[in-house]
Chains A and B, each alone.
Chain A
Amino acid sequence: MVSSVPIKTEPMIVNIGPQHPSTHGVFRMRVTLDGERIINAEMVVGYLHRSMEKLAEERTWTQNIPFTDRMDYLAAMTGNLSYCHAVERLAGVEVPERAQYLRVIFAELQRIASHAMANGTFVNDCGAWQTPLLYMFREREKILDLFEMTCGARLTLNYMRIGGVAFDLPDEFMPQLRTLLDELPARMDEYDDLLIDNEILLMRSRDIGILSPELAMNASVSGPMLRGSGIAWDLRKADPYGVYDRMEFDIPVGYNGDCFDRFMVRMAEVRQSVRIIEQAVEQLPPGPYCADVPLNLRPPAGEVYSRIESPKGELGFYLVSDGGPTPFRFHVRSPSLMNLSALKEMVVGQTVSDAIVTLGSIDINVGEVDR
């Protein structure tokens, strides 16, 4: 006679992070596992909190620019740009034409660098042993070289200023940019062949971590994540800032909202960024690169919310001025934090391996999540 003895099982709680190679920093995911399957997930953020929003209230408007470098340190240019853009709108500063174009060039270069990093680490999370990451680093390295020759820094750039940019282009910039722009499309074709047509990568990321368009909108997800879910929304077109309304480019959109869609949207966005840079270089006018803005700027009392399309999504700054030399309130709407909010819905029901891939496809930056 067969008697069935129920085996006592209990769910296992595992902390993925804060020290884990695939959490992209010190993000922590407290998951409850049934075998390998996740039955509950809890996001814990705050390990990299540096109190930037409060600190910024004690510093002058110009002194706050370096803080924006250290939020999304993989895309410091766009952090700079968003903040400067907000202050300019608050203070009514007119930015010279050349500075606008330089900002577009650098913001798009930064987008390529950030997407290269995002896609490299994403494939790394899928289990490739560093190779795609190092291939992507090859491109990122050249962009960082361009940054270094322009402003002296590679990571925390501090290049944008209120009213323009800090330095004009050096003479050797344009030839190097030209070489980069010429070789990037061929390199992207190579990566497409190696990665997008890779069966294992497809198996690991297709139908994994599906984010429905409804959930994406309700969770106010933005950037490549939103576009991966099939919504053609890009602030560069929806709410053009700077000279983006003079640029011609397309919005890459995914089909299914899974990890692979987000990955291929980023791959396609790199090509679009190359297109934008080509146009910006062509139209780049001579002239001053920075408006004459007093160092001790005192914007009139009031408030502003200004947003740009950073590589990770909608990066907005909500600034309140009481007419003094420092901001009264300095609030950041960071895309990484907002994009994380949908993570629980995406990972519950998946295995641990899928959760890692899903997290990798969101492309968070903990410096920006916690600020």
Chain B
Amino acid sequence: MALLARWYDVRDLGNAVAGLMDALRDAGASEGLLYVVAGLLGALGILGFVGFTSVINIWVERRLIGRIQVRKGPNRAGPWGLLQPIADAIKLIQKEALTPKLADSAVFTLAPIVIFVPAILAFAVLPWGEGMVLADLNVGVLYILALGSTSAIMVFMAGYASNNKYALMGSMRVIAMLISYEIPTVLALLGVVAFAGTMSLSGIVAFQETHWSWLIFFQPLAFLIFLFGASAELNRSPADIAEAESEIIAGYHIEYSGMKFGLFYAVELVNVMAVSAIIATLFLGGWWTFGLNEFVPGWMLFIGKVYAVYFIFIWFRGTLPRFRIDQLMAFAWKFLLPLSLVNVLLVAVEVFIWTEYEISAGIVLPIFAVVNFVLAGVLIAGWARVMTRNYERFPRRARLVSEIDVPLPAQSGSAARAEA
């Protein structure tokens, strides 16, 4: 029994904090002090998690990409290459952090530091477990969207201050892309918010718990739109046009070296974790997992889901080529935006039916799930067909000819050459 009691304490990290709070209160601390201590502890926990994962994710990502690419990935430093991120970090810290002569040095130095802020702030409103949330904002979704749109400024700071043509191109691309992708992602989340009837992230998790289902089953279209929109906002393949290794080399952070570059590298991983956590919370039930959270700590399930979503992003990166900027814009405006508008309309009608006729959720939700799934499939397949009709003009396999066959042009000179 003693063991069980201790297990329960581990299950919810909030209990340990609550115990500490009680002890402090007994010692005569004021409520204001308690509030500050609790906030600091939560912030430290989040910072610790973010710091630890951004280091370990370097290894996770390189290792998984290595497996996708039929090679081993880092396996020299430490067991299974686990110390590779440490080695990388030491190397980056030792390197000289150059500032180009004509760069705007204040902005140039500030950009990699400031870019960390929104990435970490996003974690504050996420529910890690039952009651384990640092700031349970009632407008959590709005807060997250606001944070997501600020990262464009930092990227532009970096690109503009570098005084490099490639960096400028990268930052112009990122501004255009982020502004375009803001709209479908916001509309996708609007569907979720309308369906759940709340903007608070813990409220959305509570909705999924009450109705014994994840929101991905009711909002498959919104999930896909948000997934692709987020992968564009994250600057990750197939939408990594802002850093486009093969085109503009590294885009906005081309001039950064040493640990400044390391910060950009790390913030990308933190951002992926943040977006994965948002997807896990909104669409995959957060810490709630069909009653499994009775036996396993909710925060463990949550982190597990975060890594499952993160794996999808790694998979994207390992397999997909990159869009061109105008194609990416077209994808946002012509493909994602109409679909997200249809989704919002659909949700509005469904919520109206549900609330107006006061049908019980047990009957109406399975019907909605089926309808939404079928519609999502039909809409995506149909619209994709319309969008890609141009590419079917020519076959995709080469024509095989057994004899040489040179169409003779009108000019005699080239004809003579071809025959020679």
Q: A residues engaging B (CB < 8 A)?
A: 12, 14, 20-22, 36, 123-131, 134-135, 138, 192, 196-204, 206-207, 213-214, 217-218, 220, 230-234, 237-238, 250-256, 260-261, 264-265, 267-268, 351-354, 356
What chain A residues lie within 8 Å of B165 (beta carbons)? Answer: 12, 14
Q: A22-B247, A129-B237, A135-B69 are in contact. Are A218 and B414 (CB under 8 A)?
A: yes
What chain B residues lie within 8 Å of A260 (beta carbons)? Answer: 396
Task: Closest B residue to A250 by CB, please name it.
Answer: B400
Listed stretches B259-267, B314-322, B372-380; interface member: B314-322
Asked whether any CB of chain A lies closer than 8 Å to the CB of B76, the reply is: no
What are some 13 contacts across the A-B interface (CB < 8 A)?
Answer: A36-B169, A129-B65, A131-B69, A131-B319, A199-B384, A203-B391, A204-B327, A214-B414, A233-B404, A250-B401, A254-B399, A267-B398, A268-B397
Question: How far, in Å, is B358 (CB) from chain A's closest CB?
Answer: 45
- Pairwise interchain contact B400-A351, C-beta atoms closer than 8 A: no
Write out, one digit per residue, whether chain B residues 388-410 have a CB within 8 A of any chain A CB (1) or not (0). 10110111111111111111010
What chain A residues lie within 8 Å of B169 (beta carbons)? Answer: 36, 352
Bound-state Cα–Cα, A218 to B411, Å: 10
Asked whether any CB of chain A lies closer than 8 Å to the CB of B245, the reply is: yes
Asked whether any CB of chain A lies closer than 8 Å to the CB of B166, the reply is: yes
Write out, one digit per residue, whether chain B residues 136-162 have a CB within 8 A of any chain A CB (1) or not (0). 000000000000000000000000000
- Pairwise interchain contact B244-A353, C-beta atoms closer than 8 A: yes
What chain A residues lie within 8 Å of B238 (beta carbons)? Answer: 127, 200
Question: How far, in Å, is A185 (CB) from chain B's closest CB?
Answer: 14
Most chain A C-beta atoms within 10 Å of own C-beta, residue among B166, B399, B418: B399
Q: Which of B69, B326, B406, B411 contacts A130 (CB 8 A)?
A: B69
Interface size class of B (residues with CB under 8 A): 35 or more
What chain B residues lie within 8 Å of A124 (beta carbons)? Answer: 246
Bound-state Cα–Cα, A20 to B244, Å: 12
Q: Which of B240, B321, B325, B390 contacts A198 (CB 8 A)?
A: B321
Question: How far, in Å, is B367 (CB) from chain A's closest CB?
Answer: 33
- Pairwise interchain contact A214-B397, C-beta atoms closer than 8 A: no
Q: A129-B317, A131-B319, A237-B404 are in contact. Are A255 and B399 (CB under 8 A)?
A: yes
Asked whether any CB of chain A lies closer than 8 Å to the CB of B68, the reply is: yes
Bound-state Cα–Cα, A21 to B319, Å: 19
What chain A residues lie within 8 Å of B354 (beta carbons)? Answer: none
Task: Closest B residue to A265 by CB, please name it.
Answer: B398
Contacting A at CB under 8 A, from B60-77, are 65, 68-71
Asked whether any CB of chain A lies closer than 8 Å to the CB of B6, the reply is: no
- Pairwise interchain contact A351-B69, C-beta atoms closer than 8 A: no
Bound-state Cα–Cα, A134 to B166, Å: 27
Task: Closest B residue to A249 by CB, please name it.
Answer: B402
What chain A residues lie within 8 Å of B407 (beta carbons)? Answer: 213, 230-231
What chain B residues lie within 8 Å of A267 (beta carbons)? Answer: 398
Q: Which of B246, B326, B396 contacts A125 (CB 8 A)?
A: B246
Question: How far, in Å, is B255 (CB) from chain A's closest CB?
Answer: 14
What chain B residues lie within 8 Å of A131 (beta carbons)? Answer: 65, 68-69, 318-319
What chain A residues lie within 8 Å of B317 (beta carbons)? Answer: 129
What chain B residues lie within 8 Å of A352 (beta carbons)? Answer: 169, 247-248
What chain A residues lie within 8 Å of B318 (beta carbons)? Answer: 129, 131
Q: Which of B237, B240, B401, B418 contacts A251 (CB 8 A)?
A: B401
Write out, one digit per residue, whether chain B residues 224-242 have a CB within 8 A of any chain A CB (1) or not (0). 0000000000000110110
The 6 closest A-B pairs by CB, nearest first: A127-B322, A252-B398, A250-B400, A268-B398, A232-B405, A232-B401
Asked whether any CB of chain A lies closer than 8 Å to the CB of B323, the reply is: yes
Contacting A at CB under 8 A, from B175-212, are none
Task: Closest A residue to B173 by CB, please name it.
Answer: A36
What chain A residues lie within 8 Å of B101 (beta carbons)? Answer: none
What chain B residues lie within 8 Å of A138 (beta carbons)? Answer: 70
Bound-state Cα–Cα, A218 to B111, Å: 51
What chain A residues lie within 8 Å of B95 (beta carbons)? Answer: none
Q: Which of A199, A200, A213 contacts B322 (CB 8 A)?
A: A200
- Pairwise interchain contact A197-B248, C-beta atoms closer than 8 A: no
- Pairwise interchain contact B400-A128, C-beta atoms closer than 8 A: no
Asked whether any CB of chain A lies closer than 8 Å to the CB of B324, the reply is: yes
- Pairwise interchain contact B321-A123, C-beta atoms closer than 8 A: yes
Question: How far, in Å, is B169 (CB) from chain A's closest CB?
Answer: 7
Q: A232-B404, A250-B401, A252-B400 are in contact. Are A128 and B247 (CB under 8 A)?
A: no
